[in-house]
């Protein structure tokens, strides 16, 4: 080793800066004991030039010294980080704890950024682990070092501690950290209360037909496939932000699938079952009841993936009779799966196949609580530790927000379906290959020749917008791509009356998403306005609204929202 290269143990000789070297050593030790990195040659990751370590430590020592002087002189601290934003953190003791924590956190991230890790997934995994450790170690997470929580103990004469323990016991019993109390809303009363009837059900789903909310209606209904990993009412929250209600008010007849919350009795359900017995059945029932053979189809998140699969299966059978397809924050090409990519590899998928997928092992369920907790930890400061602090340390009741209530109302997935999905999308990305077998045919997404409206959201960490954009090259019909502001949920559920956010449009769909974005026009307000105009062009003629629900063959079974969504 030459004099300009550092390995993790060379600091013992005093030849390199101690603090930076010690941090490198700890990262290397962490990697060597983590199964994520088993079998990888990671030694080269921790070789840094001497000059890099010198510069990092010099900057660290300068900032450390400045904070020390601030502490000794009794100057108040101030922070932009909202975890330490209150005036209680300005006093020297607690302020210095927060300041030195932020200094060390920034130092670790800068060090990690300079490690010569060329492979993308190992770098992302190490960054994830470091960010989790940093988030967990914040002084705000501990009662003794959180002045806001201590002040609340005094103000409530200790009752906040008891309330916090009760919140903790309730969450432990439920198996998840709730971001909204389970009694904050009631499905069918406060949420999912758009009038309608269940007109069909089988073991997998209920089909809801909604009553008209306009004097005239379009000829063609919309058929909606929501995600199977959450309850459908993300599309029918409260009246002011219900996409279902807005579609009805625009004059669209609406049919919507409500997936059941799968239990052990339905654990053997496969991906093919969801396509054949689920979506294809629901689409055909919609056609029969409405008397219209070419509905407009809408899929949200994995609901869009399932819908596209079903339409490709039908196309392979010679049935291409749909008026249009709208895919909202949907993967078809899993070229970049965002932060979730760190969890998926052959080892994980094979483990799931053995333990719940029925491949040389038992059949079981993938629990909704596990998925919910995983998604929350992708943004630990925003969706995990802040709720721990507010609920457990301060004893505060979470805000009653409909989106958070829905987010905590998780559902289970059947093991075989979940394992098929993991392997053929996130791991192998062969849904787009044209060679994948499904329901007895080869899947060819290009055979979907109907006009397509593809929505992505700019800050989506679940379906990165460039991956959603890749769908424009996979479908066989004309496509319109629109990019909304915000993230996976808030960017989609954005009713026009609120006049919030903005969106980008560009009539020219290019091969390169960056070129599309460069030439796109930014418009204020909700993307729903653009979508409603596009959807109307494919909805047929308007006619007087009629109220009959169902048909002689498919009578109304029970009022919306139905039993399945309440399971």
Q: Would you name the residues annotated as active-site residues? A: 301
Q: Checking DSSP bridges between strand 296-300 and strand 205-210, what pairing results, if any?
A: unpaired
The encoded tokens of residue 359 equal 């491949």
Q: How many angstroms separate the CA atoms of 533 and 219, rounded?
A: 15
Instruction: Report the run of H or E that residue 505 belongs to, with start and end.
Output: strand 502-505
* Residue closest to 205 by CA, chosen among 293, 134, 277: 277
C-alpha of 143 from chain center: 31
Q: How many angstroms separate the CA atoms of 439 and 272, rounded?
A: 6
Q: How many angstroms separate the CA atoms of 274 and 228, rounded?
A: 9
Q: How many angstroms separate the CA atoms of 86 and 387, rounded?
A: 17
Count Cα neighbours of 310 within 13 Å in the Cβ-side half-sphere. 28
The encoded tokens of residue 372 equal 């919910």
Strands (E), 73-162: none
Residues whose CB is less than 8 angstroms from the CB of residue 106 and which lie 6 or more positions away in sequence, other chains included: none
Q: How many angstroms separate the CA atoms of 267 and 353, rounded?
A: 13
**CA angle at residue 174 from 170 to 177, to 5 degrees?**
75
Through-space distance between the first and last CA atoms of the chain, rounded to whole angstroms: 63
Q: Alpha-carbon dihedral of residues 562, 564, 566, 567, nearest 10 degrees?
A: 160
């Amino acid at each position: 080793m030459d004099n300009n290269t550092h390995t993790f143990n060379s600091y013992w000789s005093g030849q390199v800066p101690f603090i930076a070297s010690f941090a490198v050593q700890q990262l290397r030790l962490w990697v060597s004991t983590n199964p994520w990195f088993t079998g990888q040659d990671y030694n080269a990751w921790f070789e840094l030039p001497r000059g890099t370590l010198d510069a990092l430590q010099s900057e660290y020592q300068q900032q450390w010294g400045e904070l020390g002087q601030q502490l000794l002189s009794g100057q108040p601290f101030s922070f932009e980080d909202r975890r330490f934003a209150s005036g209680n953190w300005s006093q020297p003791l607690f302020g210095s704890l927060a300041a030195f924590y932020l200094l060390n956190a920034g130092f670790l991230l800068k060090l990690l950024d300079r490690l010569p890790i060329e492979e993308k997934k190992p770098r992302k995994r190490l960054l994830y682990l470091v960010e989790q450790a940093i988030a967990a170690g914040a002084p705000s997470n501990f009662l003794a070092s959180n002045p806001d929580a201590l002040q609340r103990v005094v103000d409530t004469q200790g009752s906040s501690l008891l309330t916090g323990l009760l919140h903790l016991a309730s969450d432990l019993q439920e198996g998840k950290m709730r971001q909204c109390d389970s009694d904050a809303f009631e499905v069918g009363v406060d949420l999912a209360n758009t009038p309608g009837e269940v007109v069909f059900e089988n073991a997998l789903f209920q089909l809801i037909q909604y009553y008209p909310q306009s004097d005239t209606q379009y000829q063609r209904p919309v058929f909606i496939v929501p995600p199977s990993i959450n309850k459908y009412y993300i599309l029918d929250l409260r009246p002011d932000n219900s996409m279902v209600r807005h579609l009805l008010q625009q004059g669209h007849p609406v049919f919507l699938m409500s997936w059941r919350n799968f239990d052990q009795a339905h654990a053997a359900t496969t991906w093919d079952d969801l396509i054949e017995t689920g979506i294809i059945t629901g689409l055909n029932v919609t056609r029969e009841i409405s008397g219209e053979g070419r509905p407009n189809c809408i899929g949200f998140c994995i609901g869009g993936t399932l819908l596209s699969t079903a339409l490709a299966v039908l196309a392979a059978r010679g049935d291409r009779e749909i008026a249009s397809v709208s895919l909202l924050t949907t993967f078809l090409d899993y070229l970049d799966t965002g932060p979730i990519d760190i969890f998926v590899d052959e080892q994980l998928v094979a483990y799931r196949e053995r333990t719940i997928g029925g491949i040389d092992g038992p059949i079981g369920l993938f629990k909704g609580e596990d998925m919910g907790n995983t998604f929350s930890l992708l943004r630990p400061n925003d969706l995990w530790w802040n709720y721990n602090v507010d609920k457990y340390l301060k004893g505060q009741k979470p805000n009653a927000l409909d989106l958070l209530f829905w987010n905590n109302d998780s559902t289970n997935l059947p093991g075989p379906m979940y394992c098929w999905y993991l392997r053929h999308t996130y791991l192998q990305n062969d849904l787009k290959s044209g060679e994948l077998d499904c329901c007895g045919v080869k899947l060819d997404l290009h055979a979907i020749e109907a006009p397509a409206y593809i929505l992505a959201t700019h800050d989506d960490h679940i379906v990165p917008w460039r991956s959603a954009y890749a769908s424009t090259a996979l479908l066989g019909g004309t496509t319109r791509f629109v990019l909304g502001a915000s993230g996976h949920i808030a960017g989609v559920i954005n009713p026009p009356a609120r006049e919030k956010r903005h969106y980008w449009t560009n009539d020219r769909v290019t091969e390169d998403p960056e070129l599309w974005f460069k030439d796109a026009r930014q418009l204020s307000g909700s993307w729903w306005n653009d979508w409603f105009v596009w959807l109307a062009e494919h909805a047929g003629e308007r006619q007087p609204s009629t109220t009959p629900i169902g048909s002689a063959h498919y009578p109304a079974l029970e009022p919306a929202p139905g039993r399945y969504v309440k399971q």
